A and B are shown apart, each in its own frame.
Chain A
Amino acid sequence: MSKKPTLDDLVRDERRRAPNEPDWAAMESKLFARIDEAEAAEVARPRLGGRGWAAAAGALALAASAMLFFGRRGELPVESATLGAEPSAGTLSAVDGAGQVLVGGQPVQAGRGLVPGDRVDAQGARGLFENAGKVTFAVEDQSRVRVDRSRGTVILALESGAVEAAVVPVSQGEAFAVDVPTARDRVRVAVHGTHLRVAREGDRVVVDLTEGVVSIGRPPREGSTYGTLVVAPAHIELDASRLDAGITVDHATEHVRKAASLAAPKVASAAPVHVDDHEPASPTSSPRPGVGPAPRPKTTDESPRPTPTEATSAPPPASASVAPVAAKPELKPKDAVVQAVRSCVASRVQLGQQGVRVTVSSTLHLRVGANGSVESARFDPPLDPEVQTCAAATIYATRFGDPGPVTIPIEVGR
C-alpha cells in the first residue's frame, strides 16, 4: 500500500462514491403496481362484524404464508378485485378419528367449506381441510380455529390446540396464515412454501418447520410480513404475548417434530366435525395436543445463520419445497447444487422468450466446514436475489466430503 490512509480519508472516499443510477421508470412502475395491488386487496378484504374485530383485537398473530424474498414483501395475491361471495378457505376432506368436527357448534361432514367467521372445533378427531392448489391443513384433535380470511391469503386464528399445514409455494405474496389470539401482542410468520405445525398452549407457541422458510413477526395492516426469518428444519418457540422477548430456534433435525401426513385416510370416518359460526362451546378438559418436543438446548434468533443441515435428514413432504429440486442422495454434492440452482433459475427467470437466447453465468464459491456442511456461499457475480434465496435451502442442506473452499461454475441457458 503506497500510503496509509486515515479514517477521514476513508470517509471521504466513501462520500465520493455514488450508487449506480437505478432504472427509475421500472421502479416507479413496480411501486405503483404494488400500491394498486395493496389497495385492491384492502378493498377485497372480508369485513368482520364488530364482534369479530373485538375478538381479533390485540391478538397475537402467527401467520404462515408463502413468500420469496424481501423484494416481494407487501405484495398480496389478489384473487379478484371485485367484491363477491367469499371463496372457501378450505373444504373438509376427512374426519380422521372416532370423534367429531364441529362448525358453528354443529357437527359437519366431509364436503363442508369454510368461510370467514366460521369456527372449527375438533373433538376426538382430526379435521382435514383441502384448498386445492393452495394449502392442505389439519385441525388437530382438541383444537379450535376461526377462519379470519379466505380470499387471497387464507388466515386462520388458532384459539387452542394445533394446526398443521402444507402450503403450496406461490410466486409472490402470502398463501396461508395462522393467527394466535392473545391479549397483548401480534406476530407473523412468512413462508416460501412449507410444511409446518403451529401449536399453542396458553400464550406459549411452538412452530415446527419441516421444510421451507418462515418469518415470524407482527402482521402488518396490509401486505406481507416483516419478521424473523427461520429456515427449516427448525423447532421454534416463543411467548405469543411477549414477542419482543425474542424467539428461540433449534435447527437440529432430531428436535423438530416429524411432519404428519395430511392425506385423507382411506376410510374416512362419517363422524361429524363441529364448526362454530360465532361463539364456540367451551373447550373440553381432555388433554390438549402437544406443543412439540420437550425443550432442548436452543440457539437464539441472533444466530447469524441457521445451522446447515444434513441432506438426508427430515424427509420433505411431497406438497411443498423451497428449492424446486432438492439434493438427491444419488447425486454428487456439486451436481446436486448445480441442479438446484438450475431449477431455481428455470422457475424464476423467463428464458428463451421470443427467440432470445438467455444465458445465466456465475460462479458459486462455498466454504465447507470440518463437518462437511456449508458455512458460507457467494455467487460471483450475484444472481437474482429470488434465485439465490431459492437455491439457499439446497446449498446449505448439502453435505460435502472434504472441508475447505469449493468453487462451482454455474451456467444456465437455452
Chain B
Amino acid sequence: MTEEELSLVRAAAGGDREAFRTLFVRHRADVHRLVYRMIGPRSDIDDVVQEVFFQVFRSLKDFRGQSKLTTWLHRVTVNVVLMVRRAERSRPTYVEEQPGDLSPDDHRALPDEEAERNERVRAFRRLLDRLADKKRVVFVLHELEGMSPQEISDVVGAPVLTVRTRLFYARRELEAMMSDEPSLAGVGAFAGKAER
C-alpha cells in the first residue's frame, strides 16, 4: 500500500469524509464487480455495495495496514455478501434473473449466438449458486477475479492449501453438476487450468 493510500485510510478512519469519499470513488467499481460476480445481476446489488462501504467506514479504524487495502476490501465484501446470503436462506426469496443486465463487452455475436451464450451464463450462475459458500468464494475470487491462492488465503483467512483444496472440489462439483444442466450438456473439464 502506498504512503498516499495509507494516509487516506488514516484520515478516513479519523472521520475525514473527503478522504473516505476518495477511497469510495477509487474502489467502488472493484467492489461492485465482485458483488456482481458473487450474487449475480440482482436488483439489490447497489444496496449490497452500499452496505460494504458502510461496513468499511465503520471498520476502517481497525485496518492496520498489514495487508493490502484491496485485500481487506475483498474480505469485507465477501463477508457482507455471505451475511446477505445467510439471511436470505431463512426468508422467501425471488428469483431475479435479468437477461437485460448481461452486457458483453467484447465483439458482438449474432442474436442467436448471443442468446445461447446468455443462457449458458445464466445456467453457469445457477450452478455456482449451488456450490457451498466457501467453495464458491474461492472459485469466484480465483477464476473470475484472477486472484492467486495466496491472496485468497488472506481474504478468507484460511491456509493456502485449504484454498487450493476448495478450488479443486469447487471445479469438480461444477463439472459434475454441468452434466445435469441441459443448457450446458457436454461441457468438458478445465483444459489444464493452471493456478496462479
Residues of A whose CB lies within 8 Å of any CB of B are 1-2, 4-11, 13-20, 22-24, 26-28, 30-32, 34-35, 38, 69-71, 73-74, 213, 215, 221-223, 226-231, 249, 301-306, 376-379, 381-382, 384-385, 388-389, 392-393, 395-396
Which residue of B88, B113, B187 is within 8 Å of A10 (Cβ)?
A: B187
Query: Do B191 and A6 touch across chains, with their CB atoms under 8 A apart?
Result: yes
Residues of B whose CB lies within 8 Å of any CB of A are 17, 21, 24-25, 28, 32-33, 36-37, 41-51, 53-54, 57-58, 83-84, 86-96, 98, 101-106, 113, 116-117, 120-121, 124-125, 143-144, 171, 174-175, 178, 183-191, 193
Known contacts A19-B33, A32-B17; is A7 also within 8 Å of B189 by CB?
Answer: yes
In the bound complex, CA of A71 to CA of B50 (Å)? 8
Please name all residues of chain B whose beta carbon is closer than 8 Å to the beta carbon of A231 when the two chains form the complex: 90-92
Given contacts A18-B33, A27-B28, A228-B86, 13 further A-B contacts (CB under 8 A): A8-B193, A14-B144, A17-B105, A31-B53, A69-B44, A70-B44, A71-B47, A229-B88, A229-B90, A305-B91, A306-B92, A377-B92, A396-B92
Query: Do A5 and B190 touch across chains, with their CB atoms under 8 A apart?
Result: no
Which residue of A30, A222, A376, A393 is within 8 Å of B58 (Cβ)?
A: A222
Q: In this complex, what residue of B is CB-closest to A10?
A: B124
Please name all residues of chain A whose beta carbon is closer than 8 Å to the beta carbon of B106 when the two chains form the complex: 16
How far is the CB of B39 from the nearest CB of chain A, in Å?
10
In the bound complex, CA of A388 to CA of B87 (Å)? 16
Q: In this complex, what residue of B is CB-closest to A69?
A: B44
Query: Do A34 and B103 touch across chains, with their CB atoms under 8 A apart?
Result: no
In the bound complex, CA of A16 to CA of B28 (Å)? 19
How far is the CB of B59 from the nearest CB of chain A, in Å?
10
Query: Do A301 and B90 touch across chains, with their CB atoms under 8 A apart?
Result: yes
Q: Taking chain A's interface residues, is the majority helix, strand, or loop, or is none over half, making it mixed?
A: mixed
Query: Do B120 and A10 touch across chains, with their CB atoms under 8 A apart?
Result: yes
Please name all residues of chain B whose beta carbon is closer than 8 Å to the beta carbon of A35 when the two chains form the complex: 54, 57
Q: In this complex, what residue of A is CB-closest to B128?
A: A14
Please name all residues of chain B whose beta carbon is closer than 8 Å to the beta carbon of A389 when the two chains form the complex: 91
Query: Do A304 and B89 touch across chains, with their CB atoms under 8 A apart?
Result: yes
Query: Do A19 and B32 touch across chains, with their CB atoms under 8 A apart?
Result: yes
Query: Do B92 and A4 touch across chains, with their CB atoms under 8 A apart?
Result: no
Q: In this complex, what residue of B is CB-closest to A376?
A: B95
Q: Which 3 A-B pairs have the closest CB atoms?
A: A71-B47, A4-B186, A19-B36
Query: Do A230 and B91 touch across chains, with their CB atoms under 8 A apart?
Result: yes
Please name all residues of chain A whose beta carbon is closer than 8 Å to the beta carbon of B91 when the two chains form the complex: 213, 229-231, 305-306, 389, 392
Please name all residues of chain B whose beta carbon is closer than 8 Å to the beta carbon of A230 when the two chains form the complex: 90-91
In the bound complex, CA of A251 to CA of B32 (Å)? 36
In the bound complex, CA of A330 to CA of B41 (Å)? 38
In the bound complex, CA of A124 to CA of B178 (Å)? 64
How far is the CB of B196 from the nearest CB of chain A, in Å?
13
In the bound complex, CA of A385 to CA of B121 (Å)? 23
Please name all residues of chain A whose beta carbon is closer than 8 Å to the beta carbon of B51 when the two chains form the complex: 70-71, 73-74
In the bound complex, CA of A366 to CA of B92 (Å)? 13
Known contacts A4-B187, A71-B44; is A34 also within 8 Å of B54 by CB?
Answer: yes
Q: Which residue, of A10, A71, A230, A249, has the highest number of chain B Cβ atoms within 10 A?
A: A10
How far is the CB of B106 from the nearest CB of chain A, in Å?
5
How far is the CB of B80 from the nearest CB of chain A, in Å?
9
Please name all residues of chain B whose beta carbon is closer than 8 Å to the beta carbon of A73 when the two chains form the complex: 51
Which residue of B17, B87, B113 is within 8 Å of A215 (Cβ)?
A: B87
Which residue of A16, A71, A396 is within 8 Å of B104 (Cβ)?
A: A16
Query: Do B124 and A306 touch across chains, with their CB atoms under 8 A apart?
Result: no
Q: In this complex, what residue of B is CB-closest to A36?
A: B17
21 A-B residue pairs with CB within 8 Å:
A5-B187, A6-B191, A10-B184, A10-B187, A13-B117, A19-B33, A31-B24, A38-B58, A70-B51, A71-B47, A226-B87, A229-B87, A229-B91, A230-B90, A231-B92, A303-B89, A303-B90, A304-B89, A306-B92, A377-B94, A382-B42
Known contacts A7-B190, A11-B143, A301-B89; is A19 also within 8 Å of B101 by CB?
Answer: yes
In the bound complex, CA of A306 to CA of B89 (Å)? 9
In the bound complex, CA of A30 to CA of B120 (Å)? 35
In the bound complex, CA of A27 to CA of B35 (Å)? 15
How far is the CB of B185 from the nearest CB of chain A, in Å?
7
Query: Do B95 and A378 touch across chains, with their CB atoms under 8 A apart?
Result: yes
How far is the CB of A237 from the nearest CB of chain B, in Å?
14
Query: Do A392 and B92 touch across chains, with their CB atoms under 8 A apart?
Result: yes
How far is the CB of B36 from the nearest CB of chain A, in Å?
4
Query: Do A6 and B47 touch across chains, with their CB atoms under 8 A apart?
Result: no
In the bound complex, CA of A389 to CA of B44 (Å)? 12
In the bound complex, CA of A35 to CA of B44 (Å)? 19
Please name all residues of chain A whose beta carbon is closer than 8 Å to the beta carbon of B113 when the two chains form the complex: 2
Please name all residues of chain B whose beta carbon is closer than 8 Å to the beta carbon of A393 when the two chains form the complex: 92
How far is the CB of A130 from the nearest CB of chain B, in Å?
30
Which residue of B24, B87, B191 is within 8 Å of A28 (Cβ)?
A: B24
How far is the CB of A193 from the nearest CB of chain B, in Å?
15
Query: Do B48 and A70 touch across chains, with their CB atoms under 8 A apart?
Result: yes
Known contacts A27-B46, A230-B91; is A17 also within 8 Å of B102 by CB?
Answer: yes
